[in-house]
Structure 1
Amino acid sequence: MTARWPENWAALVSGAECDFCQGMGQDRNEYGARIFQGQYIDAYLQSAVVQTGYSLSIWKGRHVVEPVELTDEEAAGYWLETLRVARAVIAIYQPLKLNYETLGNTSPHLHTHLLPRYTEDPRPGQPFPFPAPRHPEPQIPEQDFLAQVQALRDLLS
């Protein structure tokens, strides 16, 4: 069987059915908690145990799929705020490497995955193996998660 793009791909790309646009501005959602609220991005620490410190930087202006759709000023703001969050993730978690992944293949709204890589890594030197969709990841214990959220918020304020 050949994998296909979702039936509603055009609606996702247009923004009509964009999960990011519809859920923007929440302090907490089913995936994580907001750690930074900037002019250009909102950033969220992810609560699933994918990789400690895994965060998303999400464009918060109009619906945009590709970074090339931004004006020069918007692009500068997007990347500067994303790098600000990345510096905080590096400072708190001290990974060996931080990956910056701007994909949009599942959710076509401009966002960048900030994915720390550690000594105990499932695929050192290779792309990170995300779990298969439709398989929920185990969650970070709530008390630990909230402590990490607060540490990042404190550093980013």
Structure 2
Amino acid sequence: MAWAEDWAARIAGQACRWCEHGRPDEIEFGTRIYAGHVSDAYFARRAFVRGYVVVVWRGRHVVEPVDLTSTEADQYHREVLAVARAVRDHFRPMKLNYLTMGNWEPHLHTHVTARYYDDPGAGGPLPAVTPPLLDERQWRDDAAAVRKLLAA
């Protein structure tokens, strides 16, 4: 897979889908379960496992965590951990994975993924293909439960 042709524009924030979204409650990716001071967390519609959330930096366009001030970095990571704690407490996975990459969308975001003994990537990474759509009712129920834990 090659870098996107508009990579320079994405890095500059001129073609950044996360910036363009604003802070809506629903996007194609998923539903917002958390609106923090510096981040939003979206519960993914497509996933190989229940308990896959992406925490997105909100504010100015930032690509790398090292571009945050110390205060911003502290707040961002505290919010990522709050989301992760709610995912852990609701789903009770055997492990949580945290990925901060941005190879497709260069805007600071962290994937928080629940991992299970029998998941499709047991003992290694999950498959690098488009995951299936989750059952709508289960997905919405899970999102509501995690949202409730985050509001407590």
With the shorter chain as reference, the TM-score category is: over 0.9
Deviation of residue 144 (structure 1)? Answer: 1.3
Sequence identity of aligned pairs in percent?
A: 44
Mapped pair 1:142 → 2:142: no
Please list every run of 5 or more consecutive structure 1 residues that lacks an aligned counterpart in the other structure: none
> 3-state DSSP class of the match of 2:147?
helix
Pairwise CA distance, 1:118: 0.1
What's the Cα RMSD here? Answer: 1.1
Distance (Å, rounded) in 2 between the aligned partners of 1:24 and 1:91? 29
| Residue in structure 2 matching 1:43, options 38, 41, 55 | 41
Which one-letter code corresponds to 1:156 in the other structure?
A: L
Shift of 1:125: 2.5
Q: Please give the secondary structure, in 2, of the residue aligned with 1:152.
A: helix
TM (norm. structure 1) is 0.92
Aligned partner of 2:120 in structure 1 is 122
Q: Which residue does 1:82 correspond to in 2?
A: 80
The AA in structure 1 aligned to 2:118 is E
- The code of the aligned residue for 1:120 comes to D
In the alignment, structure 1 residue 34 sits paired with structure 2 residue 32: yes
| 1:128, distance to aligned residue in structure 2 (A) | 2.2
Partner residue of 1:151? 145
Partner of 2:105: 107
Q: Please report the TM-score for the alignment, with normalisation by the length of structure 2.
A: 0.95
Contact 2:45 2:133 in 1 (8 A): yes
Matches of 1:152 and 1:110, distance apart in 2:
22
